């Protein structure tokens, strides 16, 4: 499989994960104010979202 195709597939996966994490974060925000476990999950999800967004930008620049 050629490199460009692999990068495009990875980009698609990242975009799905980013959308999932954005939705999860939106749901966790109101709960996290009162629940410590939800707060920790929210923090972890935000960190993971930032990492995925960085990866998405890197892959997109490779494909440009």
Query: What is the predicted pLDDT for the residue at 47?
Result: 98
C-beta separation of 52 from 10 below 8 A: no
> pTM, whole model, 2 decimals?
0.89
Mean pLDDT, the chain, integer: 96
Residues of the chain predicted below pLDDT 70: none
- Alpha carbons 62 and 55: distance in angstroms, whole number: 11
Domain span at residue 42 reads 3-63
Amino acid 20: pLDDT: 99
Report CA torsion sign: 12, 14, 16, 22.
negative
- DSSP notation for 1-57: --HHHHHHHHHHHHHHHHHHHHHHHHHHHHHHTT-HHHHHHHHHHHHHHHHHHHHHH
User: What pLDDT is attached to residue 31?
Assistant: 96
Domain count, the chain: 1
Residue 1 confidence (pLDDT): 73
């Amino acid at each position: 499989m050629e490199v460009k195709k692999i990068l495009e597939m990875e980009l698609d996966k990242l975009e799905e994960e980013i959308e999932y994490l954005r939705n999860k974060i939106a749901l966790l925000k109101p709960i996290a104010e009162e629940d410590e476990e939800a707060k920790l999950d929210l923090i972890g999800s935000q960190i993971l979202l930032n990492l995925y967004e960085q990866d998405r930008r890197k892959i997109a620049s490779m494909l440009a």
